[in-house]
Structure 1
């Protein structure tokens, strides 16, 4: 149980750091906080609500991983390096894919609600 508690506090510290230092994380947290109550009005089906909230959590997860990759890359070499650039671009592409999935999921839910 002690290990789980320590893991929780480590995770909270990581999230707190990301919120304080990363604009993209702050923006995604704000969207998440606004979107959770909106999901309650957008659909009555709990599975759809879970999907709407879940894709936003996926976006946050991928953004946090991308932030970690960028921080590690900058630590390895603060200079511009073509291989590091590719690593960072791949992380950015992963965030873009997660955002695309979230956008499509919310769009389908919105269209279903309006039709």
Structure 2
């Protein structure tokens, strides 16, 4: 049980590292807070909240995996290498695709609500 509890400490340490060292992770956390406030203001339905939570979790997870991949590549290939660049670029592309998907989900949910409030 002690090892199980320690694993949470390691996970929170990883979150702290990403938040302290990665601008994009901070940006996505702030975006999540803004979306959360907007969702509260717009009184999202439970299904809409599920989509927002899923999309937000996927973006943060992609950022964390990208960070881990970047650190690992820097460890095993401290010198500039074309294949190391490809690995980092593909990991960053995964974050981009995830963020664009989350943006699409957000637009589908929030645009009708904004139109409704505007009329």
TM-score when scaled to structure 2? 0.88
How far has the Cα of 1:4 moved from its partner?
2.8
Stretches of structure 1 lacking an aligned partner (at least 5 in a row) = none
Give the ranges of 4+ consecutive aligned residues of structure 1 lying more than 4 Å apart after TM superposition: none
Structure 2 residue runs without a partner (length 5+) = none
Q: Does the CA-based 8 Å contact 1:42-1:109 persist in structure 2?
A: no
Over 3 Å counting, the alpha-carbon distance change for 1:33 and 1:44 in structure 2 is closer
Instruction: Report the 3-state secondary structure (helix = DSSP H, G, I; strand = E; otherwise coil) of the residue aligned with 2:44.
Output: coil
Q: CA deviation at 1:30?
A: 1.1
Deviation at 1:64, TM superposition (A): 0.6
How many residue pairs get aligned? The number is 115
Displacement of 1:106 after TM fit? 0.5
Q: 1: CA distance between counterparts of 2:62 and 2:49?
A: 20
- The residue correspondences of 1:4-83 to structure 2 (distance < 5 A) are 4-83=4-83
Query: How far is the alpha carbon of 1:14 from its aligned partner?
Result: 0.4
For the residue of structure 2 that corresponds to 1:54, the secondary structure is helix
C-alpha separation in 2, matches of 1:44 and 1:23 = 29
Shift of 1:43: 4.4
Task: Select between 99-108 and 44-53 the one with higher mean Cα deviation.
Answer: 44-53
Q: What is the RMSD of the two structures over their aligned residues, measured on CA atoms?
A: 1.4
User: Where does residue 95 of structure 1 map in the other structure?
Assistant: 95
